[in-house]
Every structure is written in structure tokens, then in C-alpha cells.
Structure 1
Amino acid sequence: MSATGHRKDSEPSTSSSLQGSEPCRHFEFSEIQQATNDFDESLVIGHGGFGKVYRGNIINGSSLVIAAVKRLDSMSSQGAAEFWAEVEMLSKLQHCNLVSLIGYCNYGKEMILVYEYMPNGTLEDHLHNLGTPLSWLERLNICIGASRGLHYLHTGTGIQVGVIHRDVKSSNILLHENWAAKISDFGLSKISQTNRPSTYVKTVVKGTFGYLDPNYYATGKLTRKSDVYAFGVVLLEVLCRKRAVDTTLDEEQWLNLARWAQESIKEGNLKHIIDSDIRDQISPKCLKEFVRIAEKCLHNNPKQRSTMAEVVVSLESVLTSQEKFNNSMQTPRKTIFGRMVNMLPFPFKGENYGLIPAGRAEQSLAVGRSAGSAVGADHKMFPDKHYDYSGLETFKFADLKWATKNFSKDLHLGSGGSGKVFLGWIDKSTLAPSTCGNGNSVAVRRFNKGRRHVEQWMTEMSLLGGLAHPNIIRLLGYCNDEKHEYFLVYEYMENRSFDHILFTTAKPLSWGIRLIVMIGVARGLTYLHSSKNQVIWRGVKTSNILLDQDFNAKLWDFGLAKFGPKIGKTHFSTVFMEDYVYVAPEEYLQTGYLTVKSDIYGFGVVLLETLTGLRMLDGHRPNEQHSLVDWASQILAKRETLEEIMDPRLQQNYPLVAALKYAELTLRCLAHKPKDRPSSEEVLQDLEQIYDINK
């Protein structure tokens, strides 16, 4: 049921300050009639406050495409204002988690919107109308997609403005054929100036009961946190499979989901409110965290609610934690700390290796005594107890030797500065070594000997034990033996490393796949840079991007990673990295200053390699082209010469406007001054918009 409110038809819902692409296509009414068989009732696929939605075949350019045609009902409370708001908004917003507007038609009293067709309907349909058996992981992925779309609306349309949706609900979350979530229905949306002290919009209250922010309803002050509240209700819908307001009961017994769930949680009845279909699928840890996210979204004080950026990161963490739980072995897990110190072949002298956040040293775990050398309480090697290592398995050297056929050359996957990586197999349930081709595939990394490599081994193990994200490699366990051999065991990536596929495989990657890989990397970086302790990866390069069978990117090799600078500081000095071609100028030309923007420079190099299909350094190229950055940057800045450096294997199968935006983003990442580079979050938003153009 929509909340009441009136607005003149001439009132604009948006502002000319919203910058974007060209307006969408205008359709003739006769085209719409033909597409829908003159609005044949058998083609109706939905009905909302605006009117009926029809399935139609639209001629778009030279193609016949299936579209969703939404026609304004003459009896609807909505009208021209909502119609033009939708046209203006969606013609200028581009994101893979927003529904795309193909065009519109206004003819006399007819007002019609034409969207891309979403074969799987709405989230509301599957939760409440169709009884679809959505798994917990499917629901989580839908929530993540929707949260990314809302986050883009709030922050992704430019530095000056953001968009408040104002009607977030499960019926406005559409599902593509691959179940990707897309936010729809922008008729009530408002522009919000993000650069002003006053961040609310004073407006007549509109929205949908059950999702309506109580603070907005009481004050008329609309903020982005009003969308956050509504999304919190959606999270509860997904968890409990109950409507925001259950009107099937007697009016006096109507159930308000947000209030009911919050009261049930306080009473300790959390497990009893979960949809019984998924109750056995959720790990206790994930359930607790998911509910915490929903509660923060629903906080009475808008200032205490999460931002959508925080919601995205938190949900991604829940997804990864759930996947870990699903893949966890049933054998008792072993903790890392009982044997850690005795593994070391040399005494330490109390150096800080950059893994303990400032001010947290007193919380860190002290390492005991090693090889007869005293290591006092002030020697703390690992992050604080916030990090959970209990999921890491301790492997025996003999087991890894068997699993890799004695580290056979035939199973050698690759080599790096710290050691070699081998393919191995372990039993799914017992983790015992398995014969070649049986059980679970794993990647076994054997570190080179020497103090520096052991330090990297410890850094990687301590850091990855506390990271959980779909675009970060999953560490399964570790091994050390009395001969001072050090190993880490990871999940196996079927498509190996990105550099292998980009530079050496015969079949070139398509433009779309390249963008998917880059978006995955950007998501991983955004997670690292926005995490509580802000991690600087320092490993951004194509060989450190691994790809699964669906070309989802996973970051790996964290041996040189560091936590961000102390609060109030913008940078800190660091030891120079050997792989200098990806290193930002401030690290090697100036004073070794390191910030998250150093990662962005490295990512700029990766973006450039992906665009051109060329390695950063190649002595076989002409002298002036040895350095890809020096040579290509000059060409990138000239729109008319961009095709000179585009990978010829793409055979011009890419939208030129997308390639130009990609080139512009690459140049920004490669800016000489760190302050001129975008944040990882901005990079992600730009790449998602570029990918949307690709569609």
C-alpha cells in the first residue's frame, strides 16, 4: 500500500545537475501497440502503482528484442511527474544492478516506459507469490546485487550529487535470467546534493508502508539513510520470507515485519523467525552477522544507520563466510598458534612487519620462544584476535608431497619470487592426500627458503586468515616441517592467472570478459581499502589475479601487504618492492611513501595491459615503446588515436564510447600525484558503468 501524498504533475523529481548519457529513445505509440498486440491481456506480466506491465517484442535498431512495457493506468495515483522522473533518471544512470530503460512513449494521455526484460520477475514474486525454493546463497547474492545498485545511486552519479530512490522494496528488485538483481522504478526518486552540510531533501512523504523510514515519515526529511532503512526491511523479507506488512490477517493484527523481527531478536527468538526452507543452510556466524546488518539499517536514528557502501562490504563478507562454511571439512579444525613459534628457523629481534594496526599492539597475540631465543611480550607478529584462524587446516609435509606427486613438474602451475605453485588433490571430507584427479583440487604453494620468504609466508597466512570476500583467494591451510619447509594451500582456480590467459593463450579474451575480470579486481581492492584496518595490497599485477572457471577474479599473494597508515596520517614509508613496473612513482622516485593510492597506480597498469593486450615492459618493442605506460599514456589522452593501442585481437568488437571511458579511467589511475587518482570505490563504479554500456 502506498503512503498518501500529492505533488503537482509539473514538479520535477530530478535536477539538471544529474549528468549522464544521452536521453533514451522515443517510441511512436503505433510501435508500442504492435509490440504488445495492442496491449493484449495475455501478455501482462505484472501490475504496480503506475499501471500494467506487458511483455513485448520491440524493434531496437536492427534487432528484435524482448522488452517490458509499462503503461500508465488512467486510474493510477501516479502521473506525468513520476513518468518524466523515471525517463530522466534512467536515461542518465548506468549500472549493471539498475534496470535499463530502452525508451518511452508519450502520446496524448498515454505514458509508456520500455525497459529491458527481466525473465525472472521480481524478488517479491519469488518470496511471496510463486513459492520459489530460493537457497540461502541465492538470496545473499540477490541482496548483494541490490545493495550495489543502491550504493551506486547514492554515490556513483558524480561528486556533486547522489540519487535517493525513495521506494526500495522487494517488488522493485527485478531478477535477470542469471538471477542478477536490478533496482527498478525511479518515479519517486530525488536528487540529493552530497557536498552540502544539509544532506536531506524536504519533500512530501511518499513511499510504501512497511518500508517507509519512520524518521522520514515524521519529519518529511528525506535522506539516503531512508533508502537504507527500506533495504533493511528487504533483508528481513529475504531472511524470514514474510511481507513487510502482512495484510492477510485481520486489520487489528497486521504484522509490521521490521517491528516484529526486532522484538523477536530481543527476545532471543532469532532462529524461530527464519524461513524454514533455509534454516538449516545458514551458519550461526553468518546468521548473526546478517541480522546485525539488518539491525543497523533499521536503527531509529538515521545517523546510526550504515551507509550502503558499508552494507555492500558486510554482505560480501557474509557470502564468503557462508561459502567457507559450506566447503568446510567435517574433521576437527586445528588452530595455528600452538606451533607457530617453533616453526621459525631463526630468532626475531622484534621488528614490526607492518601487519599490526596502530594502537592495537597490546591486543595482538604474543609469539613465544623460538630455538632458545627469548621473544618478549613486546614482540607481537600477528593481528589482534578479531581475526579468526580456526578455519585453517594444518597439513603434513608428507601429505602435500603425496597430493602433488612429489611436487611433480607435470603439476607445476607457476613460479614467483617467493616460490613455486603445484596442483594437488585432497579428499573432500578428511583432507587426506588423494590420487591425481580425485577429490578436491587445491593449489599448493611451496615457499623458497630464507628469512625473507618465511616473513612473507607468515604475513600471508596471518592476513588471509582474517579476510573474507568473493574476490580474495581462500586460504585452506598451511604446513611447515622440521626441515624448515613452508607451504600454503589455497582453493584452486581453473583458469589460473590472468597474465597467462591475457598474454599467452591462443584464444583472446572478449571485451566483456576483460571487463568482468577488472570489476572483480576492483571489488577486491575496494574491500581491502575499506576494511576496518585498511589493507594495502602491494601486489597489484596481472600474475596475481587468479580466475575461476567463470572468469571471476580473485586476488592472491599478500606477502608484501601492509595495514594502512595510522589514524590522522596519510601515508607511511616502506621498503621498495622488487617488481617495480607496477609500483607507483611516489614509492621509488620519492621517499617510499605508501598509501592505498599506490595500489590504484598498479591497477592502472593492469587496466592498460588489459586494454592493449601488451605487457608493461617488453624489450622486443621499439625503444620508445619499451615502457607501456610512457608510450600508451600519450595515445590514451587523444580520443581519435585510441584504436592505435587497442588489442587488435578484439577485432573492434567493443563499444567505442565504452573504450573511451575505460581509457579515461586508466589515465586517472596512472596520475603522477596520488591525490589525483580515484579511490578503489570510484574505480569500481566507473567499471560497472562501462560494463553496462557493453550490454
Structure 2
Amino acid sequence: MMGSRKLDFFICVLSVLPLICFSATFVPVDNYLIDCGAPANTTVGDRQFAADNFFKKLLSTQKDVLANTSSKPITSFSDSSLYQTARIFTGSSKYTFSVNQKGRHWIRLYFYPFVYGNYNLSIANFAVATQKNVLLSNFTVQKNSVMKEYSVNVTSDTLEITFTPSNNSIAFINAIEVVSVPDDLIADDANTISPPGRYSGLLTEAIETIWRINMGGPIVSFENDTLDRNWLPDQNFLVQPNLAVTASNIPAVKYVQGGATQNSAPPIVYGTLTEMNSNNDPNSNFNVTWQFNVDPGFQYLVRLHFCDIVSNSLNQLYFNVYINSWLAVENFDLSVAVNALAAPYYVDLVTPSIVGNKFSVSIGPSPVNNDYPNAILNGLEIMKMNDSLGSLSAGTAVIVNNSNSKKKVGMIVGVSLGTIGAVILAGVFFMLCRKGRLARHRLSKTWVPISINDGASHTMGSKFSNVTTGSVASNIGYRIPFLAVQEATNNFDESLVIGIGGFGKVYKGVLNDGTTVAVKRGNPRSQQGLAEFRTEIEMLSQFRHRHLVSLIGYCDERNEMILIYEYMEKGTLKSHLYGSGMPSLSWKERLEICIGAARGLHYLHTGYAKAVIHRDVKSANILLDENLMAKVADFGLSKTGPEIDQTHVSTAVKGSFGYLDPEYFRRQQLTEKSDVYSFGVVLFEVLCARPVIDPSLPREMVNLAEWAMKWQKRGQLDQIIDPTLAGKIRSDSLRKFGETAEKCLADFGVDRPSMGDVLWNLEYALQLQEAVVQGDPEENSTNMIGELSPQVNNFNHDASVSAAQFEASSVDDLSGVSMSRVFSQLVKSEGR
């Protein structure tokens, strides 16, 4: 009997050992907790923050001030006492912490602005940095208490945190934590969502916690977290709270091997969740969405926490997860991951560089389980990753739409060989950076052709297998489910149709994250089909530019071919020129639209390893946003240009009648100069505000390009301009514009300018239009501008050289470049 009891006890111990292992409290090797400016130690929960006078030897400063306040800040957590004192720095100052165990460390910085004597901390402006990373720059805390949490990889024996006042201001800090992080908390790699794949190198990244959310549960303070983290409840972030319900079963949570641990998140996070409010309705079909504010221009590490405390059996719950409009996790089944109910598990995902400041996470049903559609989420962490310069500061962010990896450009370290050697090294470095950037761009945007089998595409059920049964896996980051498209367009409501083209109808829609989009739905009877659909996706997924319409996603389910773009409020350029009754555009607006379109085309021709030829440049494919900024659209006919050792691409003739390059038509040899010809037709279309082909007109007027060229060669272009522009175009601006269009329409491609030259000349035409000459009674006077400087008179002679230099220095993006500074000194009357 005694032996039996011993055996039972032994079995019981064995059964709880895994729980002990998985819930063991982490003891950090480095654990600096400092209450800055405090006269004595401060106890917060079960932790003690030491007065930083005891750490005076760690602090190097020119001058510091100890400050305190009697006001208590409003904070969600029980740490308000840390904000009542501060150390103020009037010059650059740093803390130097000895590191006993290298690796990842938390840095938590506490800030609360108050007034102390002559110091108003709410107007303090400063930067905070470590040896490798900029954490904050131009940072100001105006009213509320703020805690910033970072996780950095420390590879040296010390960690320095430097506070540097900006703009003759001051810096301050209320409290600091520097604490070791468990080695296994963040792995070195994670899945990427666009394009799908693996991201390696997380161990070296500095990370800032932007949001840490407990879905369906209460606030979780550091007192209830093994790593002293705070978790906010999710209610305030739900976009449509009525679509969500919560569930709680904390005692059911059991940490298992192969799943998450208590260091990943505490039981109070895994034991509560938010799920679909479907009431077990098999017809339920909607997403639950949360929305957060983030800093644009950065990639984010997103950690999704799951624990199935609602299912009655394994393999019952299948669902999808979306991040912004990307399908991030498809047909997810927790049973496969942990093979147990109520077992915690998390998934790490790396996003591309985020463009806007809104970040949405959605969960929705999967078609795999039609009986009881449901989706759950227990916890969420959104962590900002440092940029290529090691910065986490929003003030240094560079917003790039197509950034899908953060591989660093390799740097060559050379030995200085004197002044000449240094110059050569700098030149080599610049070229390698550019080459590396282009190569990285190509690798990060490689698309496998879409697999179509009877009109349907196929992918594996689990995103984490990284295996495809079709060929869509590398595109999946852009895939949007058909149900989401239906929801966005109110089931393709005809009242939402905003255009009809060769591919099909275009609908205005709103995605579940609030993004307004244009949805182009392919018509099965259209002459444009799979090839154009695939080309559009491949082209727009490779290129991101301010003057190219952005592809948000596509759908290829249910025999559908649907493309989803950013919504352009003002429609097509064509609709603003004739036929729609819209108000007439001013000459300045028309010039700026032409300049924007030229920038987009110039980027296509020069911004990639090989030129991309649009092949369908026309006013209907130049779209305008709410500010009339132009963006080139419709890449279904686009084609990559010739190899370096070739002059052209031989291909069947495609394009729109009236805009088609006659040389391309005759010889079926395509170059980027074919786009230049089509753009020349657009220029005359903009000037004359009439269709490019109008059979109702007299024979000599039917073809706009031929008709306008006759008047241009006579020097009488002003006789055929849009009547609404009469008397409003300066003669010099009109002359330069006409000359540019004429050169674009040269019979032979070799005689036409590059798009860089066209852009240069259009910028010049705009400057001539805006130039104000002393004595002119009207800004819009059509009087001839007086004799210009020799530089201007010799402009045509130097244009090609200047434009070539312009192209070479701005291959990646001309969207922010203006020639205004170049031309302002040439055309200002006081500069003559």
C-alpha cells in the first residue's frame, strides 16, 4: 500500500514537472532599475527602483538638475510614483551600464512632463540613443505620462544610453530600466507576409514595443507578468465592437512543450480572447478588426498569441488572419501547431515597410470549416523594427512602399590610399549601394506566375508550411479573399461603378480597415485576360512610386480576376479635359499633371535593372488624386525593355489607337521611346482638350497628333488650344510645351527625347508660366518675357547632358524632386 502511494506521488510529480518548467520565473542577470532624481529608493509592486544617486558613477553629464513634483500623472498601471521625480540634463549626458550577460536587453524609459522652477519639461526636445541605435529624436512629451519600451541586442561589455538636448532645449528622464531578456523570447527568424517567406536576422535588430494587447481580458500590469510587461485591453481598438464577443477560461490554460511559455505571455492573456460574434450561425461571414496608430516607414514584427479555450475538440477551429489588407495566416488550425486544446501558441510575422500611420489586424472565418465559422485572438504585440541606419525614431523614417526585406547593403571597407583613393572608394561605395539596392529590390519582389486551373487558384492550407500546390504562395501577401471584396463593394453594387475599361468594370469600395479602394473586376468576355491580369500584378508589385497607382491586392478565387488599387478621388485626366462636363483645369494644373505623369514614366524607364515599357500611355490611364496629383495606371500591357546589348524588344503590337507609336506599329520593335511618343499625344490632348481620334471632324482634323503638329510647325499652336485657356498661357511656356510635344512625336525613336528630358522641359515650361516680370500688369499676362539669361537661351544645348545627370542621380524616386530651385534663378526678373 505504501509503495502504491509512493508511485502515485512520483507520477504526480512527473505530471506537474512540465508545468513547472514552462512557468519557471525568469531571473535576469542584468537588472538595473533606477528612479531618476529620487532622494530614496522607490518600491513599485514587488520591484525596487534605486535612487540614481546610488548610480552616480554610471552617469556622465555636463550639468544635471534633480526635479520633483507633487502632481501624480494619470497612468493605467501602478507605477505612478516613478513619474514624480526626474533628472534634467542641460547638455549631452549618458548612463553607462556594465553588462554581465551579452544579448537582448529591455530598455524602458519613463517620461512625465512637469514644471520645476525655470524648467518646463513639456517643451523639452531631445534625442536618446545607444551605441548602435537611435531610440528617439526630436522627442517631446507634452502632457501625459509615457513609457517607451525597447529591446536591443547588446554585444559589448557596456550599454550606453545618451540623452542629447535638441535646439538649445533640455532633456529629462523620470526612470530607467535596463534588464536582461530571455534568449528564447525572440527568435532569429520569422515568417514574412509580403512576399511570403522567411526573415532572418531578428537577433541583431533593435525593436520598440508599440502596442501590447490582451484580447478579451483586462489590463495586465507588470505585477502579473513574468517579464514585467504591461498589456492593455482591446476594447478601444475594435473597429466594430458589435461583431466581437469575449471569452475567458484562465484555469484551462496549460503550457505544453512545443508551444508558448509564461515568458511569452501570462495565463491571463492566453486564458482570455476575442472571437467572432457569430452565435454558431453557419452563414456568418465577417471579420473582427482592430486598428492601431503606428509610425510609417518601418517594418514591424507582429506577434499573434493564440490559445483555443472555446472549442470542444481538436480540428474544429479554422480561421484566417489579415494584417492591413494582406492575408497573413490562412486556414490556421491550432490543433496542428500544439495538438492540444487550451495550449498557448504564438506566431511571429514581419511586415513590409508600412506606408500610412494606420495598422489593422483582422480575424475571420476560413472556408475549411463551414459548420461553425469562428476566429479567435488572445493577444497581440506590434513591435517596430529599426531601419537600415539602426534608427527607431519616427523623425528619421523614410517611407518606401515596396520594402519587403531589411537586408542590409554590404559595405566594402578599403584601405585609404590618399585623397585619390578616398574619392575612388566613395564612388565604388555609391555604385555598390545602388546595385545592392536594386538587386535587393529584385529579389524581394520575385513573383511566381499565378497557377490557373479551370479559373481557380490553389494554395496549401497552412501558411507556415511555405509550400504551394499551385504557384500562388509567393503572391499570397497581396491576395484578398473574394468575400472581403464582395463586402467592400456591397456585392458589386452597380451604383458604385466608377468606370468601365477593356478589362472590365471598376467599382469604388471600402475595405474592412476603412481603406477606400478601386476594384477592377475582370469581365470573362473581355479581350484582356489572364496574361494582362498577371502582368498587372507582377509590375505593380515590383514598383512603388508616388506617381504610379499602387496595387493593394488581387483576388483570383471563384473564376474571378479582380485587381484592387488605391482609390483616386478625381478620376482620369481624360475626364477633366472633355466629355464629362467637369470644370476646366488651369494651365498650371495641366502642367503639374503632365509633370507628375512624366515622373512616373521616367521611373518605369530608369528605376529598375531593365526599363519597363508601359505600352498604353493615354489620358484615360493617368489618374488624379484629391489634390490633382497624377499617377500612371493600367499596367496590363506593360513589358520589360531590351537587354543591355539589345536596342529593342520584338513583340506584337498592342496599345490604344491614336496614341500608338508609328515606328512600333511598322516594325513591331518596342522601346521606351514608344511610351514617349504616346506621351507626346497626351501633351497635345492636354493642350487642346479634344479626343485623339474624332471621326466627326473634318478629315484633316480627325487625328489630333497630325493636326496639332501642322499648327506647331507653323508656329501657330496658340490657334488650336482649349478655348478656356485663351489669354492665360504665357507665350514662352506655350512655346516650350509645344516644342516638347513635337520632339516626342518624332517619326523615329532615336530622335525622340528620353522621359527624363521630357520631364526637364515640362518643369521648365512651368517655371516660364510662373515667372513674374516687373511691370507686367497681370501674372497670367501673355506678353513675351524679356530677354532671358544666356543659360536659358542655351537650355536646349545643355538639356540632354543635364537630364542625363538628373537621371543618374535620381534613379529610385523622382517624386520629391523639383526643378524649381534650378530654374528659379534663370527666370526671375531680378536674376537677369
- Compute the TM-score of the two structures, normalised by the length of structure 2: 0.40
| Structure ranking higher in helix proportion | 1
- Compute the TM-score of the two structures, normalised by the length of structure 1: 0.48
| Structure with greater Cα Rg | 2
| Structure ranking higher in strand proportion | 2
